[in-house]
Structure 1
Amino acid sequence: MDISELRKTVEEVELVDAHAHNIVSIHSNFSFIHAFSEANGDALTFSPNSLSFKRNLRDVAELYGSEISLQAVEEYRRASGMQSICSSCFKAARITTILIDDGLQLDKKHDIEWHKSFIPFVGRILRIERLAEEILDEDLRDGSSWTVDSFTKAFVSKLKSYPLYVILSISLHTHARNAVLAVLDYNILAVFLSNAVTVAGEIFGLKSIAAYRSGLEINTNVTKRDAEEGLRQELIAGKPVRIANKNLIDYIFLLSLEVAQSYDLPMQIHTGFGDKDLDMRLSNPLHLRAVLEEKRYSKSRIVLLHASYPFSREASYLASVYSQVYLDFGLAIPKLSLHGMISSMKELLELAPINKVMFSSDGYAFPETFYLGAKKSREVVFSVLRDACIDGDLSVPEAVEAAKDIFARNAIHFYKISSANGVINSHSNLSQKLNDDLDIDVSLVRLMWVDGSGQHRCRGVPKKRFNDVVVKNGVGLAFAAMGFSSHMDGPADGSGLTAVGETRLMPDLSTLRRIPWNEKDEMVLVDMCVKPGEAWEYCPRDALRRASKILKDEFDLEMMAGFENEFILLKRLTREGKEEWIPFDSTPYCSTSGFDAASPVLHEIVNALHSLGISVEQIHGEAAQGQLEVVLKYTICTKAADNLIFTREVVRAIARKHGLLATFIPKYASDDLGSGSHVHLSLWRNGQNVYMGSGGSSKHGISTLGREFMAGILQHLPSILAFIAPLPNSYDRLQPNTWSGAYLFWGNENKEAPLRASSPPGTLDGVTTNFEMKSFDGSANPYLGLAAILAAGIDGLRRHLPLPEPVDANPNPEILQRLPASLSESLDALHKDEFLKEFINEKLLTCIKAIRKAEIEHYTKHKDAYKQLIHRY
């Protein structure tokens, strides 16, 4: 019997990971030993003696080429950094899709968006108990106490606010309506469902951990009165709420299952083993028979997680007799011994149809858990399917198809990933995306960085050398290069940088991209290091990471950012033998004819950005001649800075391809409006926007955290300008009555304010979702600019600075303070402002000040020199 085809399929198939959790920062206090064990407390000290611990540690050590010890692996992780180990683990795992349950509370966990740097497609699973607890932790606006009715309304409304990936067939069937009324308030649910629309988005399913709280013996006849009493008991226990009352848990479970069924969303259910706070006697999936027998849930789609171990046979039985039951074997693989994993997998397949069994890694906290889940799943599934062939249960071709189903196709069909957002149309597209990244026809890789003057620079290396040498050792760059100014490729006087010494440009593999306009090349952003794994003091990307870490460590917050990128398209004109560049057109703001004229360029820009994984929200003509704007979707600020660099590259390259020149220079023409890079900012915690106001803490629709953060930025804005408006030319743009923010104030939807509180369409009345900073322009190094903004905001949070009252009218120059009218004034403010030293270390700060001084001196002496900046920005 030739099983080579089966082995090849199992080894090469790209995986769809249908159940996983967030990865944590390398600085998290969640110990790495938890990658190998579910134990806690004193029991954890015994875990290194378990079979699975020893095997999994050995597998990770072999992947990294380190000694086989926990200490050696941890040392390798610290030296390599999170970006490197994530790239290694996910590349080895060959996972192309993950669905993340982000309801698991972990110290310093990365948000879902962060994971998209490593995985082509990332979706979300919403944990219902966590959602309920977050709602109950909030105070009602009118000061009243929660009731079951108010909770139900808030719960379903919150679900509605999320982007669900659904193909709707609403409304409830008539035969189910009366049954629903016996348990739930149908009127509340019906309003929610009748107003729903088909949307594509990130949530692909719900999840319940009822097994952890009160067990799986769900009472399908729980009454509102029972739930009301349970809710009262939970509220008496105080905040933060941790729901454990069985009646309330059962009510939430049934409410969620009804919503999930109506949206044709699956619901994952924890079954079987887990942490010690779980009563395993109550986690047997057979307890779910009452739910499965209930007619009103007959169209639901339920996934039993973790192979239901040690109840794998029971799970297999349920999947064989109930059409709504499906199985997922993550966590059992790789947390059991080899014999245990194989036995559990065989038990699942004793009765369950193969097209109901799905892979997941149940990866959590550490990228190594994803790798181990994938590696051991391949080994176990191969062993089980091979034995099935030997036993005569399957032919080899049937086993090959079974492997493809278990590892990818079942999940793609079940979670409807195949049509989500148009991103993934088939599993072959997933394969193609990964193969595109690995194509051997790539000639050169461009290593890109942004210097202290905000200019993009790169080195090119052949692909083979990149793989063989540069990935591990980087390339050398003279220290002096970080101190270059916009007018001279030499270090600015006083920068502290000379021709002596080199930094290492280490590629961040999570940013490696095929270049859309030149498919023979790739590009990758680099970190500047003293040696691999150790950041250089002058590295801009590290400055932003350090500031982000302080925000996370001290306040458990992350800053989201989204940029509006204005630029001017210029065309070449020759007059009397001299070359000139003039605006592409002279059409006004949002002109349809101007858009039509630029349409070929715009289409290519949008397509190129989408191919790089960058979401475009809008694109339109702006008010200056030849001016356009590309608006990017917000994301975590470190990634937003990366996306901004790629966007500038795309815009300039596509324009060049069409014989045009795109420039982000702040002020191209003295008699026309300038170009900015307005940035929208918000604060998030555990996947929720906490900049928005709610309850009694809200003022101007902004939370206390949001107001203090803004107050810090407003106080330090004069010195921040040296980072976000870094050229003398920048201040020609920052003028009154040009919507660029010339005075020191903030306002609600006031386009003249340098800080504008924003409430996009669809936002509840009186609620503000983000604020916009107008002063940021296209000549700024985004890492340094965002780091300075973060530093100021953190200062506001630390000192609980009050936010002044808004100015919701055109600014009065007789009342308001003028912001720096020149780079000289901003540099003076920076010299006096000491707060930045903690965030942007003193050496880098000295370098930036020297570059700004050099810019001032040069452009003061050479009045027309700014005209050459169109070729640099």
Structure 2
Amino acid sequence: MDSLKHLIQSHPLIDNHAHNILSRPSATNYTKYPFEQITSEAHGPALQNAPSTLPLLRAANQLAELYGCAPDWTAVKAARDELVQRDYEGLVRRCLEGTHAVLLDDLLSDEDVEGFEWHDRFTVSETKRIVRIESVAEKVLAGLSKDDGSSLEKLRGEFVRLISEAIADLKVVGFKTVVCYRTGLNVQQPAEDAVVGALSRTLQQDGSYRVEDKALNDWLVLQTLDLLKEAKVSSGVNKPLQLHTGLGDADISLVLANPAYLQPVIAQYPEVDFVLLHSSYPYTREAGYLACVYPNVYLDLGEVFPMVSRDAQESIVRDSLDIVPSTRLLWSTDGHYFPETFWLGNKQFRQALETVLVDYVNRGDYTIEQAKNTAAEILFHNSNKIYNLNQQPQYTSSLPVRSSLSSTDALDAFMRANPDVKYIWMQWVDYTATIRVRVFPILEFAKIVRKQRRIGISLAVFWMLQDDTVTPEGSTTGQFYMEPDLSSLRRNVGIDSKSATVMTYWRSEEGTELEGCPRTTLQNVTNKLKTEHDIDVTCGFEIEVVLMKPVTNANGDEDFVPCVRNHSWSNMTSDTRRMVPLLEEISDSLASIGINLEQFHAESCPGQFEFILPPNSPVAAVDTLLKARQVVVNVAEQHGLRATLYPRPIPKAAGTASHAHVSISPATKEDSFLAGVLEHYPALVSFTLSQEISYDRVKAGIWAGSEWVTFGTQNRETPIRKISPGHWEIKSLDGLANMYFAMAAFIAAGYVGITEQKELTNKDCQYDAATLNDTERAALGITTKLPKTLAQSLSAIESDRTLQDLLGPELVKNYCIVKRAESKKLSAMDEYTRRMWLMEKY
């Protein structure tokens, strides 16, 4: 049953009918777009009663969870206003989590809304269009001269041309009519003179055109059906016609909104697929009958979520399953204007679907597998088929994961979505931040998941360097066992391989947690902050890389030089423009496995680019970072380039960091958290700046955090930049760090601050502290310099018993052994050899 519940709550969905989202300036214009309409079809004075309805009260309670505020409508709107102003795109992204694709009727309005392609950034697959035929006709009428206003032939010619173009357009996957709103669903063949007479009545007083005469409305529907029939018969192109049915605002004739009126037309056009929108509520059973007896009819289960109560929603799902095959049911939010309409629709539909299907399983009507298939069909596969989207559902880390879901079920779900994957790369990250891999055929990996075999790795990993040598203090005796974490399972892209990667935990001989496992270390300290202080942590990363091309230098040796020279920060130079196809390929490749970049741009160093990753829980965020880096490297290699994280590939140019964003929620104890971080900063730097070359960036004036332990709001010359309450950016961090350890050390320091209720003695620094004198620094509470060498930071962590106890004394001991041995090996190399050695590995 847990696997059924998990699938319902997490399966990617295709939203087969929605509308544009408001632009940020209009998103809080409640005079023009009342927020109460998210749960009501009422307008004007009637809408004043909405706050006392059960659907809106339920929505307020759920939105309070989304915004983190009181479940009061006034508080909800106030919290929403603040969030829209602070991070509107972040709100939209959250509201569309789990949405694989949206089919957009983008002709509802062309005012105050974001354009069609803007919505692509929030979904796995690009947005597709549903063309509203009445809007097309009104556009044609507006383009005709007054003398042509009564010319049916000219209207016919232009309308047929535009609809035919839309049928041929790959971005268009279907059509929609609102004939239900205008004149009702009793569509009949009109007399031609009646259509001609209707043309003169389309002009409104404000100079616009509105098609609302029955003869003309029916004529447009039948013209469209003829064209769709012809396309299907002549070329096999199948594009459905969506029809608004059932409930709507006061413009609608509720009696004529009954889809039963469509039966003659449905029978007349068996070649065309009809999609009856909005559950046809309150005529769900009539629509269900049509979807049962006609193979070209589908029932959409949209709009009533969140427009009616929980009980009504569950009843609608049950009514739709009365006699309708599960292969004829589609899902949509009818999301429009407010991103919350998407969030509420998806949330409430998943809740109703889970309640109904679990009940049917408990009664013996469905088996677990039958119920899972039904849910997946409704959420994804039916829309994927009818609209010819040719998509595979992408299981992303942004989807909710239930801890009770077995690994076997998770693997089964992944393989259903990715049936061509033949090999799994099981990965772990050692103390030198080297990603190490074992590859298994899928059948062998399934045995590992089912615990039918174990994969042992030598404990020498605790003391191993990049060249596989083991430090003198280390041992080659004993082993740990890799346990795959299926939440990190993703396809390999950017490389010619039918494989996927999964990150692992390290387990003891007895199967228990093993001190020193990087992922376990980070997970444990995150859990302590949650269980002891009820504080959640979110992390997000910026990938900075320099794209280099291999060359032979003047000495005849192999070397790397930047891929471009004419280059500067956030500038699209002539050289940079040549890199755009590669950058877009990286973005597309990441999106194909559910990693949707928030932005990317040129950084300062020649050939340097930055990719901003989405936030997540700490372990998942680091998993995403490592996977995204692999994709960047893979795609670059396809173009003959090397993507390197080396901190200073060009000595006189800007360095390369790997800045991290950390947020705590609630932020009520942010001062104590920050106080702990600042107190333990010299020690935690041993993990964030983990090699000697990393300290080349501990300098003033290069936007890398400067040289003193302090923080500053929006100050990029402090090692910690405060962005908003409870949200900081870590500047003293680069790509050579084991990021699990780095984030564990930072969070552990914050945990200490909260546990010990430390007072924040540092004041908000708005300057580069290196430019202040001792008196000015003292006034801001700035007393400690950042370590300038690896040796200094390792000494600091060895002296910090508090952090050692949290992270693990043996972990810290072994880590320091490895880093000193690594430093000794690198210092024995000449500068060229050391640079090449590191650039080839990172």
SS in 1 for 2:508: strand
The answer to whether the 8 Å contact 2:13/2:380 transfers is no
Structure 1 residues 439, 131: CA separation in 2 closer, same or farther (over 3 Å shift)?
closer
Q: Which residue of 2 aligns with 1:429?
A: 391
How far did residue 131 of structure 1 move?
Answer: 5.2
In the alignment, what sits opposite 2:811? 844
Partner residue of 1:821? 788
Q: Which amino acid aligns with 1:581?
A: F
Partner secondary structure for residue 504 of structure 1 = strand
Matched, 1:871 2:827: no
| Mapped contact 2:711–2:722 kept (Cα < 8 A) | yes
Letter in 1 for 2:694: S
1:130 and 2:61 correspond: yes
Give yes or no for contact 1:504–1:532 (8 Å, CA) kept in 2: no
Contact 2:463 2:818 in 1 (8 A): yes
Distance 1:365 1:533 in 2: 36
Deviations 1:11-48 (A, max 9, x none): xxxxxxxxxxxxxxxxxxxxxxxxxxxxxxxxxxxxxx
Give the letter aligned to residue 518 of structure 2.
P
Distance 1:410 1:439 in 2: 19
Is residue 394–residue 593 contact of structure 2 (8 Å, CA) maintained in 1? no
Distance change >3 Å, CA 518–CA 319, structure 1 → 2: same
**Matched residue, 2:465:** 485
Are the structure 2 counterparts of residues 788 and 591 from structure 1 closer, same or farther at C-alpha, using a change threshold of 3 Å? same
Specify the alignment match of 1:661 in structure 2: 642
Superposed displacement of residue 297, structure 1: 11
**Offset from partner CA, 1:215-235 (integer Å, 9 cap, x none):** xxxxxxxxxxxxxxxxxxxxx
Q: SS state of the match for residue 816, structure 2? A: helix
| CA–CA distance in structure 1, aligned partners of residues 511 and 347 of structure 2 | 28
Aligned twin of 1:806: 764
8 Å Cα contact 2:548-2:607 kept in structure 1: yes
Match of 1:349 in 2: 322
Indicate how the Cα distance of structure 1 residues 506 and 293 shifts in structure 2: closer, same or farther if over 3 A, else same: closer
Tell me the amino acid that sits aligned with residue 448 of structure 1: Q
C-alpha separation in 1, matches of 2:390 and 2:458: 44
- CA offsets per residue over residues 638-696 of structure 1, 9 Å max, x none? 11100111122112222222222111012223333211000111113xxxxx33xxxxx
Q: Residues 493 and 854 of structure 1 are in contact (CA less than 8 Å); yes or no, is this contact kept in structure 2?
A: no
8 A Cα contact 2:393 2:417, kept in partner: no
Q: For residues 30-69 of structure 1, what are the structure 2 equivalents within 5 Å?
A: none
CA distance in structure 1 between the aligned counterparts of 2:614 and 2:808, rounded to whole angstroms: 30
Matched, 1:545 2:523: yes
Residues 444 and 520 in structure 1, CA contact (< 8 A), matched pair in contact too: yes
Kept in 2: contact 1:571–1:584 (CA 8 A): yes
Matching residue's letter, 2:709 = L
Instruction: Please list the CA deviations of residues 288-333 of structure 1 after superposition, one character each: whole Å capped at 9, or x if unmatched.
Output: xxx989959999xxxxxxxxxxxxxxx998745999985999999x
**Equivalences for 1:287-686 in 2 at 5 Å?**
295=250, 319-320=284-285, 349=322, 373=358, 376=361, 380=365, 407=375, 429-430=391-392, 441-469=420-448, 472=451, 473-486=453-466, 488-494=467-473, 497-516=474-493, 517-531=495-509, 533-575=511-553, 576-586=555-565, 587-592=567-572, 593-684=574-665
Q: Is the partner of 2:807 in helix, strand or coil?
A: coil
Structure 2 unaligned blocks of 5 or more? 16-55, 97-101, 124-180, 182-245, 255-279, 288-300, 333-344, 396-412, 778-783
The answer (yes or no) to whether the contact 1:449–1:456 under 8 Å persists in 2 is yes
AA matched with 1:502: Q
Q: Residue 791 of structure 1: CA displacement?
A: 0.1
**Do structure 1's residue 712 and structure 2's residue 676 form an aligned pair?**
yes
Residue among 710, 717, 735 paired with 1:745: 710
Aligned to 1:819, the other structure's residue is in SS state: coil
When residues 646 and 830 of structure 1 are mapped into structure 2, their CA distance, relative to the original with a 3 A threshold, is: same
How far apart in 1 are the matches of 2:759 and 2:107?
47
Contact 1:718 1:829 (C-alpha < 8 Å) held by counterparts? yes
* Aligned CA distance change for structure 1 residues 556 and 96 (closer, same or farther; 3 Å): same
Contact 1:330-1:362 within 8 A present in 2 as well: no
Q: Bigger radius of gyration, 1 or 2? A: 2
**Structure 2 contact 672–757 (Cα < 8 Å) conserved:** yes
Whole-angstrom CA distance in 2 between matches of 1:321 and 1:440: 38
Would the aligned equivalents of 2:488 and 2:620 in 1 still touch at CA under 8 Å? no
**Contact 1:557/1:683 (<8 A) preserved:** yes
C-alpha distance after superposition, 1:107-156 (max 9, x if no partner): xxxxxxxxxxxxxxxxxx995242576799969xxxxxx998x5585276
Displacement of 1:452 in angstroms is 0.6
Deviations 1:362-416 (A, max 9, x none): 99999xx899839928962589x9xxxxxxxxxxxxxxxxx999645665699xx
Q: TM-score normalised to the size of structure 1? A: 0.57
* Distance apart, 1:611 and its partner CA: 1.8
**Structure 2 partner of 1:834:** 801
Q: Distance in 2 between matches of 1:569 and 1:137?
A: 41
How far did residue 469 of structure 1 move?
Answer: 4.3
- Give, in whole Å, the separation in 1 of the partners of 2:106 and 2:363: 37
Aligned residue for 1:499, secondary structure, equals coil
Q: Any conservation in 2 of the 1:673–1:738 contact (CA below 8 Å)?
A: yes
Distance 1:126 1:675 in 2: 50
Distance 1:404 1:90 in 2: 10
Distance in 2 of aligned mates of 1:325 and 1:645: 40
User: What is aligned with 2:205?
Assistant: none
CA contact (8 A) 2:69 2:75 kept: no
Letter of the aligned partner of 2:773 in structure 1? E
Corresponding residue for residue 789 of structure 1: 746
Q: Report the CA distance shift for 1:714/1:376 in structure 2 as closer, same or farther (over 3 A).
A: same
C-alpha distance 132-638 of structure 1, shift in aligned 2 (>3 A): closer
Say yes or no: does 1:857 pair with 2:824.
yes
CA shift in 2, pair 1:785/1:705, >3 Å: same
**How far apart, in 1, do the equivalents of 2:433 and 2:459 lie?**
16
Q: In the comparison of the two structures, how many residue pairs are matched?
A: 578
Q: Take 2:497 and 2:366, find their aligned partners in 1: how far apart are those partners?
A: 37
| Counterpart position of 2:153 | none
- The whole-number CA distance in structure 2 between the counterparts of 1:348 and 1:750 is 58
CA contact (8 A) 2:543 2:612 kept: yes
Say if 1:493 and 1:718 are closer, same or farther in 2 by CA, change over 3 A: farther
1:847 is displaced (CA, Å) by 1.0
Judging changes above 3 Å, is the alpha-carbon distance between structure 1 residues 778 and 169 closer, same or farther for their aligned structure 2 residues? closer
Equivalent residue for 1:154? 78
CA deviations over 1:181-208 (Å, ceiling 9, x no partner): xxxxxxxxxxxx99675774989xxxxx
Distance across 2 between alignment mates of 1:776 and 1:846: 21
Identity %: 25
Q: 1: CA distance between counterparts of 2:346 and 2:608? A: 48
User: Any idea what the Cα deviations from partners look like across 1:507-539, whole Å, max 9, x if unmatched?
Assistant: 222222221122322221111111585222221
1:476 maps to amino acid:
G
Check conservation: 2:672, 2:753, Cα contact below 8 A: yes
In the TM superposition, residue 863 of structure 1 has moved relative to its aligned partner by 4.9
| Structure 2 Cα separation of the partners of residues 601 and 136 of structure 1 | 37
- In the TM superposition, residue 787 of structure 1 has moved relative to its aligned partner by 0.6
Q: Deviation per CA, 1:790-836, whole angstroms, max 9, x where unpaired?
A: 10111111223233211112323533532000011111111111122
Q: For residue 757 of structure 1, what is the aligned residue in structure 2?
A: 722
Q: Kindly state the Cα deviation for residue 550 of structure 1 after the two structures are TM-superposed.
A: 0.4
Query: Following TM superposition, by how much is the alpha carbon of 1:633 offset from its aligned partner in structure 2, in angstroms?
Result: 1.6
